[in-house]
Structure 1
């Protein structure tokens, strides 16, 4: 499958904002956790935050940057791999797309 069906593209487009907000909220919670426990280890906490943000920025890029219909299948698989897309949300996509996403996720394990 070179690109997802039109209906699947519409589903992904409709979910995108909420999925991105969910990822960002999770990152903010982790940042708050690290920064609230920094007393006496400020520099180590800073390094931990820098690594966290850098790693999460890479994940966000993989999931959301340059999102278009021709690469949507890979973006959906990335969303599933990182635990952002729930099983219930995945069920909104066509069976063909679900099967392709499952195959792509198998390679990532």
Structure 2
């Protein structure tokens, strides 16, 4: 994701395109491919020199969107999803592989990182 002067220059270069294309062109796309509009607009405002209050504190500053509550459920197709909020907290990267260990007695699932680093293609 571009920031600062680099963001402003790229946004100017793409200014004849729709807003979503400008945001994508500047790298504001999440791991699932979802456009990160709020982050894009916030970065633009900050690149223009305006200081915005930080939203990274965990105080009672109001709603901050969906919060990770460390709960999930098994989907109808049998999949169990662990979202980006959790993988980010563990600094996991796309392509990283794990061995899955099941303990039926305790009902736990353990992910053990494999030693190989993610393959780059």
Report the TM range for the smaller structure's normalisation.
under 0.3
| Higher helix fraction (1 or 2) | 1
Normalised by the size of structure 1, how large is the TM-score? 0.22
Q: Which has the higher contact order (CA 8 A, sep 6+)?
A: 1
Higher CA-based Rg = 2
| Higher strand fraction (1 or 2) | 2
